Chains A and B, each alone.
Chain A
Amino acid sequence: MTLAVENIRPSTAGDFIALMKPRVMSLVVFTALAGWLAAPGEANPVLAFACIFAIAAGAGAAGALNMWYDADIDAKMRRTRMRPVPSGRVAGPEALSLGVVISVLSVVTMALAGGALAAALLGFTIFFYAVPYTMWLKRRTPQNIVIGGLAGALPPAVAWAAKTGGLGLDPLLLVLIIFMWTPPHFWALALYQKGDYAAAGVPMLPVTHGARATRTQILVYSLLLAPLGLAPAVTGLGGWIYTVVAGVGGAGFVLLAVRIARSKAGEGASAAGEIYNGAADDRAARNLFVFSILYLFLIFAALIAEHGLGLYARVGG
């Protein structure tokens, strides 16, 4: 490790930002902001900023801890081999230090700005991503992203708890939606990148149970996700805009999942050099992967528009 570091250019602040997975952070900030705006009551904008900032920092810290622990398998996958630790731009112990320090600072900030419940939830989220998911599940079971998905699902509930001091059915529905969205999202990716995961020894579902079982599981989770996505419309959390977006988006999600189920996605050549060329049948998996990001973005954008921009109009009233 030391030799590798000495041979590479000195690490920059940008390398440390990359260590915190900024793209994941942006999605976390987005869902947390939706949770904050949808939660009842008023809050000081400074506290709102501090709470969302703490959630973003916590997500970044969890990302840094994940990159520290997973450097060995990241080095074996094309998608991840240029990350700061495996590429030698940041030393492993530095990534660990950054992760631990930012974790503590983010939880302390949340305790000050959002209260004990939100701080405890944020601490649990970071811990769950860094230890149960990264250290225990990811290399051991194809259920890794199913269970580990809880960490990525919690931010809206953390924000809700920070604003209101409590939880309820509505924030739990938002958590459940992201929780149910995570498996088809990552399995679609794993279908057309299973050679990458196999090379790294990560037991993703397409590697352990084959492409056909994965396609079936994607369809099952999508069939559960589509109606679940409409549940906030029933409780009144989502208004007309949300209902239309979740309804049309859910139908599109299921349609693409059916196409995957009927395809041979994940059964093409998976030699290292061909992973990114995309066999024709893998296109169905790629389409769902891209659409799943759009779906999650749009339903949370609908909540932000309704509760943040005053566009809420209750369904049936």
Chain B
Amino acid sequence: MNEDALRARRRRNLVIGLSLAAFVVLVFTITLVRLQGNVVERPF
């Protein structure tokens, strides 16, 4: 694997890593919003 290929792989891995991190944040935020709604609607 030459230097260009290694650089491209590093960039791809970085993008994949950032995408996964963004996905985790998204799921966490959805959970917070869902929990908040359910707590507000709780009958007691």
Residues of A within 8 A of B (CB): 9-13, 16, 44, 46-47, 50, 53, 105, 109, 112-113
CB distance from B29 to the nearest CB of A (A): 6
Given contacts A9-B4, A10-B4, contact A46 B11 (CB under 8 A): no
Total contacts A-B at CB 8 Å: 40
Residues of B within 8 A of A (CB): 4-5, 7-9, 11-12, 15, 23, 26-27, 29-31, 33-34, 37
Contact between chains at B30 and A50 (CB < 8 Å): yes
Q: Is the interface of B mostly helix, strand, loop or mixed?
A: helix
Q: Which of A13, A53, A112 contacts B11 (CB 8 A)?
A: A13
A281–B15 Cα gap in the complex (Å)? 47
Chain B residues positioned under 8 Å from A47 (CB to CB): 30, 33-34
Contact between chains at B29 and A46 (CB < 8 Å): yes
Contact between chains at B15 and A13 (CB < 8 Å): yes
Contact between chains at B26 and A53 (CB < 8 Å): yes
Nearest first, the 6 A-B pairs at minimum CB distance are: A10-B8, A13-B15, A10-B5, A113-B30, A112-B30, A46-B33
| Sample of 17 A–B contacts (CB below 8 Å) | A9-B8, A10-B7, A10-B9, A11-B8, A16-B12, A44-B33, A44-B37, A46-B29, A46-B33, A50-B29, A50-B30, A109-B23, A109-B27, A109-B30, A112-B27, A112-B30, A113-B34
A50–B34 Cα gap in the complex (Å)? 12
CB distance from A133 to the nearest CB of B (A): 27
Known A9-B8, A10-B5; further 6 A-B contacts with Cβ < 8 A: A9-B4, A47-B33, A105-B23, A112-B30, A112-B34, A113-B30
Contact between chains at A12 and B26 (CB < 8 Å): no
CB distance from B13 to the nearest CB of A (A): 10
CB distance from A18 to the nearest CB of B (A): 14
CB distance from B21 to the nearest CB of A (A): 13
CB distance from B11 to the nearest CB of A (A): 6
A11–B9 Cα gap in the complex (Å)? 8
Chain B residues positioned under 8 Å from A112 (CB to CB): 27, 30-31, 34
A10–B12 Cα gap in the complex (Å)? 10
Contact between chains at A12 and B30 (CB < 8 Å): no
Chain A residues positioned under 8 Å from B30 (CB to CB): 46-47, 50, 109, 112-113
A13–B14 Cα gap in the complex (Å)? 9
A50–B31 Cα gap in the complex (Å)? 11
CB distance from A42 to the nearest CB of B (A): 11
